[in-house]
Amino acid sequence: MNYDQARWTHDDETYEPLLSEKGTRDVEVESSLPDDLTRDSLELPELSEPELARHYVRLSEQNYGVDSGPYPLGSCTMKYNPKFTEDLAARPSAAVHPDRSEESVQGTLGLMHGLQDQLARIGGMDAVTLQPPAGAAGEFAGIRIAAAFHEANGEGDQRTEIVIPDSAHGTNFASAALAGYDVVELPSADDGRVDLDALDAAVGEETAALMLTNPNTLGLFERDIETIAETVHDAGGLLYYDGANLNALLGRARPGDMGFDIMHYNVHKTFATPHGGGGPGAGPVGVVDRLADFLPDPHVRQTDDGVFETYTPENSVGHLHGFAGNWLVLVKAYAYIARLGDDGLSDASAKAVLNANYLAERVPYDVPHGPFHHEFVASAGDQDAADVAKRMLDYGVHPPTTKWPDIVPEALMTEPTEVESKRSLDQLADAFTAVADEDDETLHAAPERTTARRIDQTTAARNPRLSWQALDD
């Protein structure tokens, strides 16, 4: 199926004028304010409601979003974004000023306490903090908790290394380095999982923690997770769970039961808030009981009288974010968990796994390893993975993640998610098939049917020009 993104002007120009360029006329405004408190430099447009609505609809249609069609961006993907959670988060009662007294926000604190408990139960953890404002922030908070734990045990100067598999999310390496640790990269085995011999060689008295994603970024479950946990713990290290792929395990397995000591939850992707450049996110962190005293400040608890209150854990690593973190993202996560319940969460993970394996069977490229959980990584072979991704836009689907992990050449990391129907999965498969048969010249020229054609990604990333006004050059 070919796809043409909306264009609205007769001469094929895609530029949508700024509001300030539309229908503005001079209007005299009478004001009793002093001159030094007023200004006349604002370019306020005078537009009708339909004109205003059309302006924003056109802008939204120049992008491809989770509401536009299949969105299989691998790993840190936008998941289900139900509209009922947006409605709840938009209610005036959800807007809570952070300076209000605890007595006047008992409902807010109650929701936080309830979400702490729900996440702890889902992850098999003993305590959860809601403060970190993103998954990477959760990683950093978790590593800071590990550092504080070793410091309290008198091993802070000794345990200087964090072990991380070569297939891990890039943020794992950054979080460990930012926290002051040396990173020990762990090579993957031929089957894409942790190489146990390499693990034995990597861990030791210097190991503070191993950061692991399970299922990993190839969509593979670490079958030797109990051996991995035992190896790390015997060396005196902690086992950290990257929760980016938790949606594959919901209601079926828990990191805490696998031996993980610390984990973060990407509630913005697992529990109903879009992610992937859209933000904001939230990255709550769960810990086992022996690490609970190191959680950030403030934490929420309920007294014997049923009153909710905040407190500072005894050995807290400190304050990470204002008040409750990204509060409205947490509201949506709470609502999503409450709506689905245990059966619904389990059903969502089942569909995520089923969809990934169905699509992996239909993709015309080589797909190493398997069976998969929530995602898989295909190899584009002789084609450039970035070209394949750009071309897929012309077939009306969002591209997969490309070029990563680099243990698969020309990687196409694909995560269809639990949301997509068989029709959507077939549309994705047809797009992969169509692109696989095309020549390099066609791929290099892609995309052809989108509002914005091929952009210079390097310049866009390294020299962004962000302005609400049109630039001259």
DSSP string, 135-195: HHHHHHHHHHHHHHHHHHTT-TTT--EEEEETTS-HHHHHHHHHTTPEEEEEPBPTTSSB-
Give the integer Cα–Cα distance in Å for 166 and 199.
Answer: 12
Of 231, 287, 292, 283, the C-alpha closest to 255 is 287
Of 187, 188, 192, 172, the C-alpha closest to 379 is 192
Give the integer Cα–Cα distance in Å for 181 and 321.
Answer: 23
pLDDT at position 62: 82
CA atoms within 13 A on the CB side of 54: 11
At 77, the pLDDT band (50, 70, 90 cuts) reads low
At 470, the pLDDT band (50, 70, 90 cuts) reads low
pLDDT at 320 over 70: yes
pLDDT at position 464: 83
Of 98, 142, 81, the C-alpha closest to 327 is 98
Of 156, 155, 164, 218, the C-alpha closest to 367 is 218
**Segment holding 377, helix H or strand E:** strand 376-379
**Picking from 110-114, 296-300, 433-437, 450-454, which range would have the lowest pLDDT averaged per residue?**
450-454
**Picking from 48-62, 65-79, 239-253, 348-362, which range would have the lowest pLDDT averaged per residue?**
65-79
pLDDT at 78 over 80: no
Asked if residue 201 lies in contact with residue 232, where contact means CB atoms within 8 angstroms, the answer is no
**Segment holding 127, helix H or strand E:** strand 127-129
Token pair listed for 457: 């990604």
Token pair listed for 460: 């866009």
- Phi, psi at residue 165, to the nearest 5°? -60, 155
- Phi, psi at residue 310, to the nearest 5°? -100, 155
Q: Mean of the per-residue pLDDT values for the chain?
A: 90
CATH of region 84-339: 3.40.640.10
pLDDT at position 279: 65
Domain ranges of the chain: 84-339
Token pair listed for 20: 């300030």
Helices 170-178 and 135-152 meet at what angle, rounded to 10? 40
Beta strands 376-379 and 308-311: pairing type?
unpaired
**Segment holding 49, helix H or strand E:** helix 49-61
Asked if residue 418 lies in contact with residue 80, where contact means CB atoms within 8 angstroms, the answer is yes
At 275, the pLDDT band (50, 70, 90 cuts) reads low
pLDDT at 473 over 60: no
At 276, the pLDDT band (50, 70, 90 cuts) reads low
Give the integer Cα–Cα distance in Å for 85 and 107.
Answer: 17
How does DSSP classify residue 94? G
pLDDT at position 68: 85
Beta strands 285-287 and 127-129: pairing type?
antiparallel
What per-residue string of b and e applies to 162-178 under the rule 16 or more CB within 10 Å gives b?
bbbbebbbebbbebbee
pLDDT at 242 over 80: yes
pLDDT at position 14: 66
pLDDT at position 333: 95
- Phi, psi at residue 261, to the nearest 5°? -100, -30
Q: Where are the alpha helices (DSSP H) in 325-451?
A: 327-362, 385-393, 422-436, 440-445
In this prediction the pTM is 0.88
**Picking from 100-114, 176-190, 393-407, 458-472, which range would have the lowest pLDDT averaged per residue?**
458-472
Task: Considering only residues 472 and 373, tell me which one the structure prediction assigns the higher pLDDT.
Answer: 373
How does DSSP classify residue 73? B
pLDDT at position 188: 92
Give the integer Cα–Cα distance in Å for 416 and 74.
Answer: 8
pLDDT at 11 over 60: no
pLDDT at 23 over 60: yes
Strand order in 161-165's β-sheet?
127-129, 285-287, 262-265, 238-243, 207-212, 161-165, 182-186
Beta strands 161-165 and 182-186: pairing type?
parallel
Place of tokens 């993202």: 329
